[in-house]
Structure 1
């Protein structure tokens, strides 16, 4: 234990982000850093509980509670408090291949399960995690470590998002020859194109890719399995295959006016913007520019928030984010949302903070249902018609009940649909002839990851559906262990 009274002596503090009205003028990361002394103080608030829940990684009430990669949180909190940063880094890397990603973009279910949160503010676990890995890179402690010997076994990983990268890193570590195939022009999957640069700088992603290449992992871009290389050829060339292509089929909202111009999927909007930014600092114009537009984002999740932040940087005229969920309470409801469940409370994410600073109010509208889109004489969207709703559970099924008299019209020249994903794209699955579950995900048992086809494994969102980056890392690591067992008869991987 760092100190038995740390959580009583010190308040929770987080590093201040860059000022909202300053950071919306560029695409640089908005994160800032604490001094080492402040981070050590925050580490001292960890109680090293007799039964810690921060590292559990379980599902409670539809949300993740605790860390899915089972980070040894109390241990590295204590090491940071003692000033043993390199030892803290070693401890962190034992369970997490990419703490520089999770330390920036994970929603921190570990903090929601922190025991200190029972009586006060939880330990600032996420900030400490990022501080450890950033110091590791700054000090030159994170270096390429190629395996001493090779097994002669070859593994193909399809998809270079967090699941695919984690699987590749683990399999390479035990000496297998790993090739990662990515259909986009850059490695990283959603880490590169699904998350804007101000939230996760792409240099941070490329730095890890470069390390993995130096360790022997081979990355192949602009190559789609099933088109550029057949699934049959892949199975012929490799001893095992891991599918980690994600759940990339967007969910639509079919309704009157959906065919109008100016309505697009959120992920297309974000991807185009990031690619143009990386290719040319947006000079090529190969993206949808929201400048001067009234923007409506339909969907209350992280992707929708990223759209809000992106539209602000385009200098939109206004931006509003719709959610069908009700506004959360200011404090955790102990009866319906008790610890260690993830606290479903009202918070402002970074994009909401920016919009509030610019316009003076939270850009979100809660309990709103879009009824139809209306276009102008050129077939382009000009407005949305909505109604307020109340969500109820009837016979165990979630239903939305419209509230009469709450109809409203919003002007809009750009509408971004961010209501999640239906599951994986089906072409590759069909070509492999894989069994699917009732949600169309690849059928493979959690913890085993073996699909219905011999030697083909599945991990991450393609298997579990849309989920958190930290779950993708968890599944990529575990799938690597199962592939190693498949190839070698046993495995030393965790």
Structure 2
């Protein structure tokens, strides 16, 4: 056992103050925390143990004004033997007596037993060998591992799952997957659209970093989120009138958005949904920004982008195209004419590299924008592309599809560190692109202004000792790649020259708009920034930035923002579906049939997408709350008083990281209050356990009969639960064998057992019946 400080608190204030100080833990009964200290099961080891049992006056049991009041330090043994508790609050007395051995009951306190840690093999494994969700990890190992003692009613969402954390937009992927598994495409769409209005686009083009975070990568292969998102996006597009309807009411506020790429379109959607008048300005003749002009049609069909723009127009979004801010309309004019302005322009500007012969090269983005002009044969037989991202892959594959016989792509990074997605790299190689990782540019090889090739040199490292991007080269290791055209896809720059010198707006040291991180507002009041104009990145990051900017603009305008909440209810998954190891793969054209203007892949059917959602583990925690007393308090409609608030027992047992209650780190239980039972009501508690020497419940059941019956089950779910359907069934009726059996069946109607917890459902069903019959 590691050394720790020990404090015998003399008052509650002293205990709270000690908890405020940092890594401290309370001890009341002793067994749970001592086990933690001995086995070191948690990554955060307490430096100080605060003994609460030394605080006087917290061990009382008394009735006052029709309410039973029990001090948090009252021993379970005393509660079990108290005449008033035994006679009037029988379920509580029976539950207190049911807590393991007489020795533990004599040590244990009521405050300690209801706030104890979860009962889970993986959580309590010594030496932290299983970094589960409750210990700050990313996975509940019970989903695919031994789960016989875990929840039979679904899991609990105690933190964002790794897929959601990896998504720049924090999309609730498990939430909408769960609705799809239920067959509710509308609910899935609503969950998705709360954060992201363009799934039909990102389902096709997003690099989907969420899949890198998927816990399935630890055992087999990630869930194919991109395939499911694409099919859901197509469904939303087919039902656009429902999901992109004009707002029910207008706010009277008007906003201008400069830029119609992913950030601008995202902001326009959320601003219009809120009821604002939205006008989008763009210099191009068609809206869509990079989506329309920079992404090849074989990845994102142009007609699909046009359909999205048409849907926006039906929502009431106005597009003013071919308008150049800074020339056709000035920033000052926009600021005067609209209540708020958002700048969300893209990175269309070519960076200057200082390379010898750079003027003879082609900017990769210009090549993609002007792709039709390259169809007349001027591309040449050999093309060299520099860059390791997805844009570089697009340039290389587009060149190949336009007829180049040989396309060579080089990049500074090693193969493992290339910024392009593995799928795009594999696709490029399948089409014959020669990829050379670990090489940098030296100089353009030319004769009388005619490109002959590119001299490259070995890149030893892209990062220096300080962690900064500072490529180091071997000047003695060089080679020449013959080429008729050299295309540079090594990055783009944002062009903010439209502001002019007189329009004072703060830029950061990198030359991007400097915004408030929380609101998206620039240094000018009412002027906001998002997307590449603030920080270049993935389309999904731009969409997230557009949504955040819209929220900031609404706040600035005094327009309410719609709350974004997670899907309610227990987390469930398909016990059979999670055993499938191979992910969904889209149907694609063969390499021979791929063209520059035809989409490569076909969306999965809804049936295929549904099957893939069944592979999702819906990574919540499935550990159960082990307290016998907890369901008795819920059935008796008790209240928990803390050093800070009073909480209904039914709301007290909320699950969060490393905890089974709503208690904050410096919050202490002081008293339990149980209202006097209604006239004619009776209560009882029963449990089923395997190991009498330890006697943790496999299932616990507390029942209160009478005019307003209450039934609570413990150890079957992540927190004690009310059996509402069973309560409704028995209300106002005389309990007999038939009714008790029906109530048992109703109590487990919503069970969603794991592979090995089906037996708990039968036990719970029987236990409800027996507990009810014990009160006849």
Q: Is the 8 A contact 1:226 1:431 kept in 2?
A: no
TM-align CA RMSD:
2.7
3-state SS of 2:493 partner: strand
> In structure 2, how many angstroms separate the alpha carbons of the residues matched to 1:50 and 1:123?
21
Counterparts of residues 65-76 of structure 1 (less than 5 Å): 66-76=166-176
Q: Judge conservation of contact 1:252–1:419 (CA < 8 Å) in 2.
A: no
Within the candidate set 254, 258, 264, 1:154 is matched to 254
CA contact (8 A) 1:247 1:425 kept: no
1:19-58 → structure 2 map (5 Å cutoff)? 50-57=158-165
Q: Check the 8 A contact 1:269/1:288 in 2, yes or no.
A: no
Give the structure-1-normalised TM-score.
Answer: 0.78
- Note the alpha carbon deviations across 1:391-425, whole angstroms, 9 max, x for none: 05224444433336531111111111111123443
Which residue in the other structure is 1:93 paired with?
A: 193
How far 1:143 sits from its partner (Å)?
Answer: 5.0
Aligned to 1:421, the other structure's residue is in SS state coil
Question: In the alignment, does 2:360 pair up with 1:269?
Answer: no
Q: CA deviation at 1:85?
A: 2.1
Of residues 394, 403, 406 in structure 2, which corresponds to 1:306?
A: 394
C-alpha change, 1:358 and 1:96, in structure 2 (3 Å) is closer
Secondary structure of the corresponding residue to residue 101 of structure 1: helix
Check 1:258–1:345 CA distance in 2 against 1; reply closer, same or farther (3 A cut).
closer
Query: Residue 53 of structure 1: CA displacement?
Result: 2.6
In the other structure, the counterpart of 2:270 is 170
Three-state SS of the structure 2 residue aligned to 1:204 is helix
Deviation at 1:353, TM superposition (A): 4.2
Number of the residue aligned with 2:454: 384
Q: Conserved in 1, the CA contact under 8 Å of 2:379 and 2:484?
A: no
Measure how far apart 1:220 and its partner are: 0.7
Aligned residues of 2:176 and 2:192 also touching (Cα < 8 A)? yes
Given that 1:298 and 1:416 are in contact with CA atoms closer than 8 Å, whether structure 2 keeps it comes out as yes
Structure 1 unaligned spans of 5+: 9-45, 58-65, 277-284, 330-343
Deviation at 1:133, TM superposition (A): 1.7
Q: Specify the SS of the correspondent of 1:403.
A: strand
Aligned residue for 1:374, secondary structure, equals strand
1:297 alignment partner, SS class: strand
Give the Cα–Cα distance (whole angstroms) in 1 for the partners of residues 168 and 246 of structure 2: 27
**CA pair 183-357 structure 1, distance change in 2 beyond 3 A:** same
CA distance in 1, matches of 2:495, 2:552: 22
Aligned length: 416
The equivalent of 1:127 in structure 2 is: 227
Matched, 1:83 2:178: no
Larger radius of gyration: 2
Equivalent position of 2:573 in the other structure:
none
Distance 1:287 1:271, change over 3 A: farther
2:382 and 2:342 map into 1 onto residues whose CA distance is 43
Structure-2 separation of matches of 1:468 and 1:209: 20
Task: Tell me if the contact between 1:290 and 1:315 (Cα under 8 Å) persists in the aligned partners.
Answer: no
Show the counterpart of 2:549.
479
Tell whether the 8 Å contact from 2:342 to 2:530 is kept in structure 1 after alignment.
Answer: yes
Matches of 2:223 and 2:378, distance apart in 1: 39
Shift of 1:246: 2.4
Q: Distance in 2 between matches of 1:48 and 1:123?
A: 20
Q: What's the counterpart of residue 534 of structure 2? A: 463
- How many Å separate the matches in 2 of 1:345 and 1:213? 35
TM-score relative to the length of structure 2: 0.50
The answer to whether residue 309 in structure 2 is matched with residue 209 in structure 1 is yes
Q: What does 1:73-472 align with in structure 2 at a 5 Å threshold?
A: 73-138=173-238, 142=242, 144-260=244-360, 263-273=361-371, 276=372, 285=373, 289=377, 291-328=379-416, 348-350=422-424, 352-353=425-426, 355-359=428-432, 363-377=434-448, 379-391=449-461, 393-403=464-474, 405-428=476-499, 430=501, 432-464=503-535, 466-472=536-542
Structure 1 residue 304 displacement after superposition:
0.5
Worse-superposed segment, 181-190 or 363-372: 363-372
**Deviations 1:230-272 (CA, angstroms, capped at 9, x unpaired):** 1222122111111111233322322222233xx1111100001
How far residue 71 of structure 1 moved from its aligned partner, in angstroms, is 1.4
Alpha-carbon offset, residue 429 of structure 1: 6.0
Contact 1:300 1:323 in 2 (8 A): yes
Distance 1:48 1:202 in 2: 42
| Residues 278, 318 of structure 2: 8 Å contact kept | yes
Mean CA deviation greater in 171-180 or 289-298: 289-298
Query: Contact between 2:283 and 2:323, CA under 8 Å: does it hold in 1?
Result: yes
| 8 Å contact kept, 1:312–1:355 | no
User: Structure 1's 353 and 489: CA in aligned 2 closer, same or farther, altered over 3 A?
Assistant: closer
Over residues 79-133 of structure 1, what are the superposed CA-to-partner deviations in whole Å (9 max), with x where a residue is unaligned? 2223222222222212211111111111111111122223332221121111112
Give runs of ≥4 in structure 1 deviating > 6 Å. 4-8, 46-49, 344-347
In the alignment, the residues of structure 2 paired with residue 112 and residue 434 of structure 1 have an alpha-carbon distance, to the nearest angstrom, of: 38
- What is the CA distance between 1:206 and its match in structure 2? 1.2
Counterpart Cα distance in 2 of 1:345 and 1:489: 39
Q: Tell me the CA shift for residue 289 of structure 1.
A: 4.8
Aligned to 1:407, the other structure's residue is in SS state: strand
Q: How many angstroms does 1:363 deviate by?
A: 1.8
- 2:404 and 2:521 mapped to 1: Cα distance? 47
